[in-house]
Amino acid sequence: MREFDFINKYLRPIAGGNSHNLGDDCAFFNGYCITKDVLVADVHFFKNDAPFNLARKSLRVNLSDLASSGAKPFGFMLGLALPNGTDESWLAEFAKGLASDIKEYNFQLLGGDTVYHDGALTISVTAIGVAQQPVTRKGAMPGDNIFVSGAVGNGFLGLRDKKNGIASGRYVKKYELPEPRLELGLKLPEIATAAIDISDGLLADLGHICKESNVGAHIYSDLIPLADKSAGLMELITGGDDYELLFTSRLEKVEACHNIGKITAHAGLRLDDAEVEAKGYEHGKR
C-alpha cells in the first residue's frame, strides 16, 4: 500500500485535533511545533555513508520541516535502531556529527532511544520548534505568487551521481548535506500564505499545498531555477530530497527567492501549457 493511501485511509480518521488532519509538515500546540522524519539505510542513504554527515543530514531534514513551518529550532529526540555489531568508531563519528549541527543550529538533544537489531540502520528524529505563528500548507489563495528558495534538483542529481559511483562533487555534497532554510523560514509568518519544503520534489509538494489549500497552480519552466539546465526538467522537479522551501505569497518579489508562477482557482497543476500530475517521491510505490 502506498504511503499516502495508508495515511489518508487509516491514519487521518484517528488523528488528533492538533495534527491539522495530518495535512502539514508539523503538528502545532502551545507555541510549539513538532515533526518526525525517519531515515533508513539503502532507502534514504547508503549503508556506507560517513556517519558524521549522516547524523547531520538526519537533523537537517527535520530542521527543514521546522523551517517550512516558520519555526525556530528548539530540540530533538533521537531514535536509533543500529545493526548488531556496529563499531564504536562509527558511533563516535555519528555523535560528533550530531554535536556539530547542535552547535550550528542552536538545537539541543532532549532524549531518545537506542536499540540493536538484525536489520538496517534506522534513524528517527523527532524535532521540536518554537512557532508563535506557524505557517501551514493551507492558506494559498488564487492570485498568490509561488516562490522557491533555491535551486531545484540537487537531490536528484546527487543521488544520480552517487549511484554512478561518484563519491563527491557538488551535487553529492548537497544531497548528503542539505542546508535547511531556517532564516527564510523565520520570515515566512510575515510573507507566506502557505509553505512546504520540497523533500518529495517540487511538483509533488506544490500538489500538497494545492490539495490542502483547495486551489490549483500554474508554473513556468523557464522561471524554475534548475540545478543543472542540461538535465531533464521532469526528473529535476519530481526527484525528492531537495529541502528548498516552496511558498505562496501575495508579494511579487521576495529577496533571494524565485517567483515561478501563480496559484489558480482552477484545481490541478499546469506546467507551461500542459496539465501535469503532482508526481514525486512516494514510499510504497511499486
Residues lying near ligand ADP in the complex (CB under 6 A) are found at: 7, 11, 22, 24-25, 37, 65, 199-200
In whole angstroms, what is the distance from residue 107 CA to residue 100 CA? Answer: 10
CA 235 to chain centre: 17
Tell me the C-alpha to C-alpha distance, in Å, between residue 136 and each of 22, 182, 228.
Answer: 11, 15, 30
Tell me the C-alpha to C-alpha distance, in Å, between residue 135 and each of 154, 191, 202, 230.
Answer: 25, 10, 18, 34
As measured in angstroms, the least distance from the Cβ of 276 to ligand ADP is: 19
- What DSSP string runs through 226-268? BS-TTS-HHHHHH------EEEEES-S--TT-EEEEEEESS-E
As measured in angstroms, the least distance from the Cβ of 185 to ligand ADP is: 13
DSSP three-state, residue 178? coil
Report whether 245 contacts 148 (CB < 8 A).
Answer: yes
**Residue closer to ligand ADP, measured from CB, 1 or 11:** 11
- If we measure between CA atoms, which residue out of 216, 218, 37, 231 comes closest to residue 152? 231
**Residue closer to ligand ADP, measured from CB, 61 or 215:** 61
As measured in angstroms, the least distance from the Cβ of 91 to ligand ADP is: 26
CA 253 to chain centre: 23
**Residue closer to ligand ADP, measured from CB, 24 or 144:** 24
As measured in angstroms, the least distance from the Cβ of 241 to ligand ADP is: 11
Question: For residue 114, what is its C-alpha cell?
Answer: 537506542
DSSP three-state, residue 276? strand
As measured in angstroms, the least distance from the Cβ of 7 to ligand ADP is: 5
Question: For residue 18, what is its C-alpha cell?
Answer: 492538533
**Residue closer to ligand ADP, measured from CB, 11 or 166:** 11
**Residue closer to ligand ADP, measured from CB, 22 or 91:** 22
Amino acid present at 44: H
- If we measure between CA atoms, which residue out of 263, 136, 257 comes closest to residue 210? 263
**Residue closer to ligand ADP, measured from CB, 52 or 198:** 198
As measured in angstroms, the least distance from the Cβ of 137 to ligand ADP is: 9
Angle, vertex CA 26, rays to CA 21 and CA 30, nearest 5: 90
As measured in angstroms, the least distance from the Cβ of 32 to ligand ADP is: 15
**Residue closer to ligand ADP, measured from CB, 65 or 161:** 65
**Residue closer to ligand ADP, measured from CB, 22 or 77:** 22
As measured in angstroms, the least distance from the Cβ of 199 to ligand ADP is: 5
